[in-house]
């Protein structure tokens, strides 16, 4: 693994601390591979998946159509959407 600078390590620790302090389990997150991570109402995930199964629509448009979009984070660089 590549080394991080001291300032990068500090920033990442602050970001992780903020994420760890999330006040509920309702907030879900997804990206479509751009600098934005979208926030949606995770309590509606079953409904979202059922609609996707029956219509073939993608996740993001289904979330938007249902009004389950709650906001977004804009990162300084791309957030790549990959599968292992």
Report how far residue 70's alpha carbon sits from residue 24's, in angstroms, rounded to the nearest whole number: 13
Domain span including residue 52 = 24-78
> How many distinct structural domains can be found in the chain?
1
Question: Mind listing the pLDDT tens digit of every residue in the chain (84 residues)?
Answer: 789 999 999 999 999 999 999 999 999 999 987 899 999 999 999 999 999 999 999 999 999 999 999 999 999 999 988 876
**Cβ of 1: how many Cβ atoms within 10 Å?**
3
pLDDT of 84 reads 67
What's the start-to-end Cα distance of the chain, in Å?
17
Residue 72 lies in a domain: yes
Residue 5 lies in a domain: no
Residues in the chain: 84
pLDDT of 81 reads 80
């Amino acid at each position: 693994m590549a080394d991080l600078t001291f300032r990068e390590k500090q920033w990442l620790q602050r970001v992780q601390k903020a994420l760890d302090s999330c006040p509920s389990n309702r907030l879900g997150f997804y990206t479509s591979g751009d600098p934005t991570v979208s926030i949606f109402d995770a309590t509606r995930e079953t409904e979202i998946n059922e609609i996707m199964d029956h219509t073939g629509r993608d996740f993001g448009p289904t979330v938007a159509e249902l009004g389950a979009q709650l906001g977004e984070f804009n990162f300084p660089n791309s957030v790549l959407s990959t599968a292992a």
